Amino acid sequence: MSSFQEFQARHDLSMEALCARILERHAATIRVKKPAVAIGNLARIVETTLTLANRKGFHSMSLRDLTEQSGLSMGALYAYFDSKDTLLMMILGQVVGVVEVVLGRPPEALAADPAGRLRWLLETHLYLTEAMHPWFVFAYMEAKAFPKEGRELAVSSEMMTESMIADALADGVARGLFAVPDVTMAAALIKPMLQDWYVKRAKHRRRGVTPDLYAEQMIAFVEAAVGSRRVQAAGR
């Protein structure tokens, strides 16, 4: 297993880097053409939005709240998006896009190693949500109030990650490494353990649980639950 520090060294998930990707994705509609200015202002907009959403809820947040807290004028905001729904989709789209890029490319060495791939998926997912904690909390807490397009995007992203886990489990079952009667159900049961880390992060912090410790304990629990031969061998 790698560590959260090693994960951070491999992936630049700073606010500036993430907003640079938002600019790339929405370059056709964002009216500010100087990249440095656009990225800086997007960082202010997104960071303020995530803070306000966490404090009072995204749909209770007004654009006036956003102007007051970000220091940008209403006209400046409209140079980046035309409505709150567009802003929401910018943020949600970035979360989904990063999940696809980071989790969708497991190391080639794990192609024939479902146990290793399962560990990598769980560990990487957890470290990703730690690195982008405010983004994932936003996506989770605001999901019920998303417009139809946002709900569909959030659901498809969740199903994608569950299918990655289920595929690793199915491969392990086929190779005689796991004993799982229903890999789809097992993946659906594993996903809430991943979400618990970022949704109830304060609880884990009070207990002194680090991302590395949570990853280690969660993976050990999952491996025991799926009857991993690696765990059985270690217990002999």
Round to the nearest angstrom and report the end-to-end CA distance of the chain: 21
The mean per-residue pLDDT over the stretch 119-130 comes to 98
- What tens digit of pLDDT does each residue of 48-76 get? 999 999 999 998 999 999 999 999 999 99
Q: Would you tell me which CATH number, out of the four given (1.10.10.10, 3.40.630.30, 1.10.357.10, 2.30.30.30), belongs to the domain 4-226? A: 1.10.357.10
- Of the candidates 158, 86, 83, 165, the one whose C-alpha atom is nearest the C-alpha of residue 124 is 165
pLDDT confidence of 235, banded at 50, 70, 90?
Answer: very low
Q: What angle do CA 158, 156, 199 make, to 5 degrees?
A: 30
% of the chain surpassing 70 pLDDT: 97
**Does position 222 have pLDDT exceeding 70, yes or no?**
yes
In the numeric block, the tokens 């979360």 are attached to 95
Give the CA distances from residue 204 to residues 153, 195, 198, in Å, rounded to whole numbers and listed in that order.
29, 12, 9
Global pTM value = 0.93
Torsion of CA 3, 132, 26, 46, to 10 degrees: -150
Give residue 194's region: left, alpha or beta (phi > 0; psi -120 to 50): alpha
% of the chain surpassing 90 pLDDT: 91
Centroid of chain to Cα 78? 27
Q: CA–CA separation, 34 vs 26, rounded Å?
A: 14
Cα Rg of the chain, angstroms? 20
**Does position 1 have pLDDT exceeding 80, yes or no?**
no
Q: CA–CA separation, 171 vs 43, rounded Å?
A: 41
Domain boundaries, the chain: 4-226
Per-residue model confidence (pLDDT) at position 234 = 47
Over the chain, what is the mean pLDDT?
94
- What tens digit of pLDDT does each residue of 156-205 get? 999 999 999 999 999 999 999 999 999 999 999 999 999 999 999 999 99
The mean per-residue pLDDT over the stretch 19-28 comes to 96
Lowest model confidence (mean pLDDT) among 9-13, 138-142, 210-214: 138-142
Per-residue model confidence (pLDDT) at position 145 = 81
Per-residue model confidence (pLDDT) at position 236 = 46
In the numeric block, the tokens 């005689």 are attached to 176
In the numeric block, the tokens 């303020």 are attached to 48
Q: CA–CA separation, 216 vs 210, rounded Å?
A: 10
Give the CA distances from residue 215 to residues 21, 25, 174, in Å, rounded to whole numbers and listed in that order.
28, 32, 25
